[in-house]
Amino acid sequence: MARIGIVGGTGYTGSELLRLLAGHPRAQVSVITSRAEAGQRVADALPMLRGRVDLVFEDPERAALAECDLVFFATPNGTAMQHAPALLDAGVRVVDLAADFRIKNLSVWERWYGMPHAAPALVDEAVYGLPEINREAIRAARLVANPGCYPTAVTLGLLPLLECALIDATRIIADGKSGVSGAGRKANAGLLMAEVGESFKAYSVAGHRHEPEMEETLRMATREQVRLIFVPHLVPMVRGIEATLYAELRDADIDLYQVFAQRYVNEPFVDVVPADLAVETRSVRGSNLCRIAVMEPQRKGVVVVQSVIDNLVKGAAGQAVQNMNLMLGFAETDGLDGVALSP
Amino acid sequence: MARIGIVGGTGYTGSELLRLLAGHPRAQVSVITSRAEAGQRVADALPMLRGRVDLVFEDPERAALAECDLVFFATPNGTAMQHAPALLDAGVRVVDLAADFRIKNLSVWERWYGMPHAAPALVDEAVYGLPEINREAIRAARLVANPGCYPTAVTLGLLPLLECALIDATRIIADGKSGVSGAGRKANAGLLMAEVGESFKAYSVAGHRHEPEMEETLRMATREQVRLIFVPHLVPMVRGIEATLYAELRDADIDLYQVFAQRYVNEPFVDVVPADLAVETRSVRGSNLCRIAVMEPQRKGVVVVQSVIDNLVKGAAGQAVQNMNLMLGFAETDGLDGVALSP
Amino acid sequence: MARIGIVGGTGYTGSELLRLLAGHPRAQVSVITSRAEAGQRVADALPMLRGRVDLVFEDPERAALAECDLVFFATPNGTAMQHAPALLDAGVRVVDLAADFRIKNLSVWERWYGMPHAAPALVDEAVYGLPEINREAIRAARLVANPGCYPTAVTLGLLPLLECALIDATRIIADGKSGVSGAGRKANAGLLMAEVGESFKAYSVAGHRHEPEMEETLRMATREQVRLIFVPHLVPMVRGIEATLYAELRDADIDLYQVFAQRYVNEPFVDVVPADLAVETRSVRGSNLCRIAVMEPQRKGVVVVQSVIDNLVKGAAGQAVQNMNLMLGFAETDGLDGVALSP
Amino acid sequence: MARIGIVGGTGYTGSELLRLLAGHPRAQVSVITSRAEAGQRVADALPMLRGRVDLVFEDPERAALAECDLVFFATPNGTAMQHAPALLDAGVRVVDLAADFRIKNLSVWERWYGMPHAAPALVDEAVYGLPEINREAIRAARLVANPGCYPTAVTLGLLPLLECALIDATRIIADGKSGVSGAGRKANAGLLMAEVGESFKAYSVAGHRHEPEMEETLRMATREQVRLIFVPHLVPMVRGIEATLYAELRDADIDLYQVFAQRYVNEPFVDVVPADLAVETRSVRGSNLCRIAVMEPQRKGVVVVQSVIDNLVKGAAGQAVQNMNLMLGFAETDGLDGVALSP
């Protein structure tokens, strides 16, 4: 069994890593850290893990992370860039679930994240951990930047169109919707159930950090200059992201379903759905799948893509485990074969 | 007190009319019909009205609707066109909350609603009941077609831009989201809470009946040919519609907030909100307001409008009462001054 | 118009007072304070009040509270007892929506609330503001202790049984359920929607502050020694309390519906519902009603009472306005005639 | 691999069986029937199973159920009693997830279920499938009656108290709360999200079919005459049952936690939680666990038990698979080791 470490285990991505790795046949969490909860039993903080996880949160300064084969950073932005270098030097592979290594353009990163980067040299080395575009590079990577949740849903929904140059890349609209777990587990009056239950709203309309990540990823993957307008919305539910994507088609008479189906025919975690079936977030809840439907409504020259993921799985911890599987030479689907929980 | 009739009182728009009219200073419901519930006390079927409404559902064939000053049809599509003519002949004013008289182009209507129209002559006469564009015509109308819920939110969100020719009218995206009460109170396994709770999805992506209504209304109001892509989504909440609207700006350097604020400065039920404030559906829950925010994110040349309403109030029964107030010469805000219920 | 002050206007009870008083015919909020938000426009913090409330939050030290006819304290426990004495001395009537004056037994109060009482003399004077038992005393009171949310639902559900000595008062079970707004608007990770959405749990099983309040109120109202077990639960919804009450009947063959109907026949805000109708929280959402149903299931000798209120209305701000109406000589229902919002 | 059949595969218990068995190491669904959906691909009706289940719904009359090792009936009440006899005669083991064989007392069963029993001889033979009381009998059984959802939560919560004669068995209160999936997937206007979202209510207060099942099971297991009052409630969430149980303690000074911990020390699917930890439904969502906490609040002589399960797993399909594992000689936890999905 590979020895796995998790830095920052009390948030939702950390606990979701624990859930997924509890059933993994070839990897085992041997160290988990939490500065605030050091000394507490994991199963006391996260009752769904009672009887399944016997670890105690350790202080990150003293934890034997360097003895792990691979360490996940499930920490706020700005943490992994401080601590990953030492682990990499010690020969540990690293997957950062935060944003520290997602954007190659340092000045863009620093503007959106509001801090200087502590490890600029590693930004170049890091591989963007979307297996559907970077599978081979991920296998070889020391350091993987796990993609953001919205960028995963949006990028997978646009890739086939951009790779085949089927759309005007400068006029893309991405209307994103996320359950509230995407905002994390911080005390925040704005995310109380009494504030966000039974209501719906857009947020960060003026600009969201995931927009430059999407634009850079799509440009690098397709060599097209991309101008994308992204507006995220908050849905009164816990898990799930849906992105509805709009773009102008360059040509009529394209079998859009076939374009997508062929692009993803060998992808274990992308399911292209015939347009007459529903694509709903609950159909992927708890699973690592991205489900996509595509059509040109009313033949008006605009393609509409629906893309759904579980923001904590394919949008975070599941994709991180998928990356780990690739990095450590396991089967890509190991530990990721749970069926979605629906209803 | 004006004598008011309601045809079809057991659905959500019917019960919302009863709620609003229970507090109206100049109008009183004197007749309410329901074929299925004839003979039952209204307050037994709708317990929130216990102690406030003392009516009994009557059979529509026998009810004294012709003695009313105004009758609301809160019925499925295709009913009002059968029964409105006789009432109009009897001198009764009529507001149809369904779609029978919303679209002037009969062939478009018949294609989308799948039936021949029973009263084509009245289609021409009917006034589209959006006071923000047709106030004076509504005052004089015998027959008002109350707008659809999505069209209300979308039209109010686009009008200022189109009237001032600020956007490319042929490239508009309307991403709509609605609470589940918009689907009505019919037994439908697809709308069980176990099916739609904790989940999010688009629906009717191939085409929704409200799209031609939006296009026709906007074209008539602005004399611009409009091509609009509309995708509705189902939100796991009961009440509320949010529409996020996207269009290409023709010019830079426009004070979008001022354009909207001036367009609606005298409108009692449209509130243009500075872009730094949240526009959430709960801020209008139970009230007749449409709240709108507008901005050009990142100066990318695309305007983003957020428009929120309560689908059962400004999107249905509240707007119907607003129309009634205009038709009967009351103050436009009579009975519509309740503050939104938030949280 | 009476001049009304609100101390602590940014929480849910404060904003609900503003909502209800915005429609009150004889009272107007003239001062509202918030230490944290002093200087901010109320309508910017509480967008549902845009266009309806033109006040600015004032610093409580400088606000002209002493010029009000009546002041509501919508503050955390322990605040009103500090500041009410000076206002009372200035001739201002006071309603405390927190717990400072709810329990006559000081040592019980100090044990449950964990602080010494700052105004013990006023505890005796204060009138417990449940109009259904203390209406005349409330009219004359300088200081009213507005009841807790659970105690309102539980007390109204048990009063007829205890007053008529129909049950064993020493074996009462009160199983309470509340929406999340009952916990207030404080940043608290435990009340994030991602923590409490799609889940249900009991809390404070070891003991809840409302239990001694219920026992004392029932004992004082009925002169019976009461032993009551109260377990509250958190429901994944925003508003509403339901209490299911169980007690051993002393006699068979009692028409329980009649007992309740007669007890509350003149009460404007208690609605006794025939047992075959549903008693659901949404039937009182936004309204000041308490709806109650009572039955003896299967004739097993145990009475079961269901009691529902809106925790923010009859359980807090609505009952406070009802008390204000009594204190200032207005009609008891002034400003409280809105129909519940359902669905 | 054992060959498994499912009769009635389109409801929630059927689809949950498919989800659990998709990951079972020793059993495989080879036949699934649905009269209404015969001929349709399972994965088209249940999109979360796309890529995981390749079956087609078959007509029950023609399906090769007799060739299965074990057949689950996930059908409405009254179906299994018609069809189980022939299968049993063919040597097939049967687990009925409905109520046909749960109650030994036929006249009680017929009164509550409103139909004559079609296979009374099998009622005696059937084993009540609660492994925590009938494990050895289940191993040997041809026919297992899978317990109701509420009875599972309530029985496991009361067993230790009754087996040790710690409580007055004639004064038990069971206040149950269930998510809406418990009501199944039938078109029913009363279970629309617009009807039950954002609301809470008791139902079947006059009497619920699970009450006689609980009383009989507890009496048979403990040889005590049991009088239990059971009131179920509907929670606005999809999955989960919580039961709060109240009973009079016969003696003081009992270590209730130890009583429960020892009773269930060897049970793989019952987790007794220290009373200071939360017992919430989400901690068991998707898993086969029953989590229980017990305490005597305020030392008032009343024990309070909280018991939570996922109504579709330990309350239905998971327990059925647990029974299957016992019947077919597999490890009891095979296919049931998924960690609960939380948040």
The Cα A286–Cα A239 span in angstroms is 8
The answer, yes or no, to whether residue D337 has pLDDT greater than 90, is yes
Per-residue pLDDT for A223 more than 90? no
The Cα B97–Cα B99 span in angstroms is 7
B117, part of any domain: yes
C111 and C157 co-located in one domain: no
Q: Rounded distance, CA C276 to CA D206, Å?
A: 9
Q: Give partners of C (≥3 CB pairs < 8 A).
A: A, B, D
**A-contacting chains (≥3 CB pairs under 8 Å):** B, C, D
Tell me the C-alpha to C-alpha distance, in Å, between residue C155 and each of C133, C215, C228. Answer: 10, 9, 11
Nearest to D283 by CA among D295, D292, D294, D275: D292
Phi and psi at B294, nearest 5°, equal -140, 140
Query: Is residue C277 very low, low, confident or very high in pLDDT (cuts 50, 70, 90)?
Result: confident
Does the pLDDT value for residue C276 go beyond 90? no
Helix residue ranges per DSSP H, chain B: 12-21, 42-45, 80-89, 106-113, 120-125, 131-140, 149-163, 193-196, 210-222, 256-263, 318-327
Element (H, E) at B198: none
The answer to whether position B6 is within a domain reads yes
Nearest chain A alpha carbon to C190:
A187
If you average pLDDT over residues C226-230, what whole number do you get? 97
* DSSP, res A135: H
Q: Cβ distance B21 to B4 under 8 Å? A: yes
CATH number where B19 lies: 3.40.50.720
For residue A92, the tally of other CB atoms under 10 A from its CB is 20
Distance (Å, rounded) from C-alpha C199 to C-alpha D284? 10
Q: Is residue B202 less than 8 Å (CB to CB) from chain D?
A: no
Residues of B in contact with C285 (CB under 8 A): 48, 341
**Residue in D closest to C235 by C-alpha:** D235
Q: Which pLDDT does position D45 carry in this prediction?
A: 94
Confidence at residue A276, expressed as pLDDT on a 0 to 100 scale: 83
| Confidence (pLDDT) at B112 | 97
At C10-55, the pLDDT tens digits run 999 999 999 999 999 999 999 999 999 999 999 999 999 999 999 9
Q: Does D306 touch chain C (CB under 8 A)?
A: yes
Last residue of a domain, one of C69, C91, C125: C125
Contact in structure between C71 and C94 (CB atoms under 8 Å): yes
- C203: tokens are 């809390």
Written as six digits, the tokens of D282 are 């989400």
Which positions ≥6 away from C143 have C-beta within 8 Å? C84, C88, C93, C94, C95, C96, C101, C122, C125, C126, C127
Take residue A172 and report the two structure tokens written for it.
């893309």
Residue carrying structure tokens 């008479």: A253
Verify that A200 and A240 share a domain, yes or no. Answer: yes
Query: Pick from D90, D125, D160: which residue ends a domain?
Result: D125
Question: How is residue A21 written in tokens?
Answer: 């790795």
Helix (H) or strand (E) holding A132: helix A131-140
What's at D289, amino acid-wise? L
Check residue A317 and report its DSSP letter.
Answer: I
Give me the CATH number covering residue C267. 3.30.360.10
Query: Regarding beta strands C70-73 and C2-7, do their DSSP bridges make them parallel or antiparallel, or are they unpaired?
Result: parallel
D187 and D118 within one domain: no
Closest residue, chain A, to C191 (C-alpha): A192
Alpha-carbon distance C199 to nearest alpha carbon in chain D (angstroms): 5
d(CA B335, CA B338): 8
- Please tell me if residue A193 touches chain C, with a CB cutoff of 8 Å: yes
Do A168 and A90 belong to one domain? no
The total number of residues shown for chain A amounts to: 343
Tokens of D224: 């005590």
Q: What is the pLDDT of residue C184?
A: 94
**Whether residue A286 is found in the same domain as residue A224:** yes
Nearest to C50 among B48, B271, B282 (CB): B271
Structure tokens, B163: 């009237």
Residue A138 has a pLDDT of: 98
pLDDT digits (tens, 9 = 90+) for B161-215: 999 999 999 999 999 999 999 999 999 999 999 999 999 999 999 999 999 999 9
B171: Cα within 13 Å, side-chain hemisphere: 19
Query: Contact, C327 vs C144, CB < 8 A?
Result: yes
Catalytic amino acids of C? 149
In Å, how far are A98, B80, B107, B110, B128 from B115, measured between CA atoms? 55, 13, 10, 5, 21
Sign of CA pseudo-dihedral B134, B140, B145, B146? positive
B170 plus B108 within the same structural domain? no
Is C337 inside a domain boundary? no
Contact indicator for C43, C22 with CB cutoff of 8 Å: no
pLDDT for the residue numbered A9 = 87
Share of chain C above pLDDT 90, in %: 96
- Classify residue B34: in a domain, yes or no: yes
Contact C239 B343 (CB under 8 A): yes
Strand, coil or helix: what is D16? helix
Co-location of B266 and B119 in the same domain:
no
Count helices and strands in chain D by DSSP H and E runs = 11, 13
The two structure tokens encoding residue D151:
């009875």
Residues of D in contact with C231 (CB under 8 A): 244, 246, 297, 304
Query: Interior CA angle at A18 toward A16 and A24, to 5°?
Result: 110
The pLDDT-based confidence of A221 (bands split at 50, 70, 90) is: confident
**Separation between Cα atoms, residue A99 and residue A214, nearest integer Å:** 12
Residues D157 and D290 in one domain: yes
D40 and D164 inside one domain: no
Residue C216 and residue C106: Cα distance in Å, rounded? 12
Report in angstroms the alpha-carbon separations of B229 from A26, B244, B305: 48, 12, 15
Q: Please answer whether residues D132 and D264 qualify as being in contact, where contact means their C-beta atoms are separated by less than 8 angstroms.
A: yes
Model confidence at D276: pLDDT above 90: no
Q: Which of D13, D324, D2, D48 is nearest to D184 (CA)?
A: D13
Give dist(CA C197, CA C194) in Å, integer: 6
State how far the Cα of A210 lies from the Cα of A213, in Å rounded to an integer.
5
DSSP assignment, residue A316?
I
With contact defined as beta carbons under 8 Å apart, do A211 and A230 qualify?
A: yes
* Chain center to CA of C204: 19
Those residues with Cβ within 8 angstroms of residue C61's Cβ, 6 or more apart along the chain or in another chain: none
Kindly state the tokens that stand for A145: 């930047």
Domain span at residue D96?
2-125
Pairing of strands A93-96, A70-73: parallel
Using CA atoms, how far apart are residues D335 and D269, in angstroms rounded to an integer?
A: 13
D131 found inside a domain: no
Residues 246-265 of B with CB under 8 A from A: 246, 248
Both A22 and A71 in a single domain? yes
Evaluate whether C57 touches C32 at the Cβ level (below 8 Å). yes
The H-or-E segment that residue D320 falls in is: helix D318-327
Residue D211 has pLDDT above 90, yes or no: yes
Q: Would residue C214 count as lying in a domain?
A: yes
For residues A21 and A27, give the distance between their C-alpha atoms in angstroms, rounded to a whole number. 7
Q: State how far residue D194 is from chain B, nearest Cα, in angstroms.
A: 5
Q: Are residue D64 and residue D176 in the same domain, yes or no?
A: no
Quick one: DSSP state of residue B148? P
Total number of domains constituting chain B: 2
pLDDT at residue C224, as a whole number? 84
**Pairwise CA distance, residues C14 & C98, whole Å:** 11
Cβ contact D199–C282 (<8 Å): yes
Q: Which residues of A213-223 are buried (b: 16+ CB within 10 A; e: fewer)?
A: bbbbbbeebbe
- Cα–Cα distances (Å) from B315 to B98, B112, B129, B263, C173, in that order, read 11, 20, 11, 20, 44
pLDDT in tens, C206-226: 999 999 999 999 999 888 899
Write a three-state SS string for C13-82.
Answer: HHHHHHHHHCCCCCEEEEEEECCCCCCCEHHHHCHHHCCCCCCECECCCCCCHHHCCEEEECCCCCCHHH
Using a pLDDT cut of 90, give the percent of chain D over it: 96
D145: its two tokens: 């009656």
Same domain, D162 and D119: no
| Chain centroid to CA A293 | 19
pLDDT at D14: 97
Mean pLDDT of A76-82: 97
- pLDDT higher than threshold 90 for residue D147: yes
Beta bridge partners of B252: none
Q: Which residues contact A62 (CB under 8 A, 6 or more apart)?
A: none
CB-facing half-sphere around the CA of C33: CA atoms within 13 A = 22
Give the residues of chain B that fall short of pLDDT 50: none
- Alpha helix stretches (DSSP H) within chain A: 12-21, 42-45, 80-89, 106-113, 120-125, 131-140, 149-163, 193-196, 210-222, 256-263, 318-327
Tens digits of residue pLDDT in D37-52: 999 999 999 999 999 9
B38 located within any domain = yes
A341 in contact with B at a CB cutoff of 8 Å? no
Where does the pLDDT of residue A197 fall: very low under 50, low under 70, confident under 90, or very high at 90 and above? Answer: very high
Facing residue for D236 by CB, picked from C205, C236, C278: C236
In a domain, A333, yes or no: no
Q: Which residues is D175 bridged to in the sheet?
A: D231, D244
* More confident call, A131 vs A253: A131
Core vs surface per residue D38-47: b (16+ CB within 10 A) or e: eeeebbbbbb
